[in-house]
Amino acid sequence: MGSPSKEEQWRLQTEIRQIDPKDRLHICFEDTNLAWLRNEKELVVKQVNRGMKGWQIAESLRRPYKEVAVLILELSLAGKLSPPEPTKENGSGFKFGVINLKEEQ
């Protein structure tokens, strides 16, 4: 009798979660719309590359800041953003409210 397959391990873990009420499943951003139209995504890329702050982008799109922040994070990790040159106003050149993606890379 070998070790259980990955599917069997997953089934067992799922059963344990269902049995133990203290171990509730947490789904991040469950109440958030993370779907983006292509033209919205392209606009966010342009706005970021022009140096707009995340909260300004959120206001321009009339979407919650956290939705925009998640998209900016995804675009940044995928290498699809070109940070503006650092200036006195923007510090390191890539600031979005409290998130500084350039320093996180």
- The pLDDT value recorded for residue 58 is 95
What does each of the 105 residues of the chain score in pLDDT, given as a tens digit?
A: 577 788 887 777 766 666 666 666 677 888 889 999 999 999 999 999 888 889 999 999 999 999 999 999 999 888 888 766 666 665 554 444 444 444 433
Residue/partner pairs of 45-49 with CB below 8 Å, 24 or more apart? 45/75, 45/80, 45/81, 48/72, 48/75, 48/81, 48/96, 49/81, 49/82, 49/83, 49/84
- The pLDDT value recorded for residue 90 is 56
- The pLDDT value recorded for residue 23 is 61
- The pLDDT value recorded for residue 31 is 87
The CATH label, of 1.10.10, 1.20.120, 3.30.2130, 1.20.272, for the domain at 32-104 is 1.10.10
- The pLDDT value recorded for residue 87 is 65
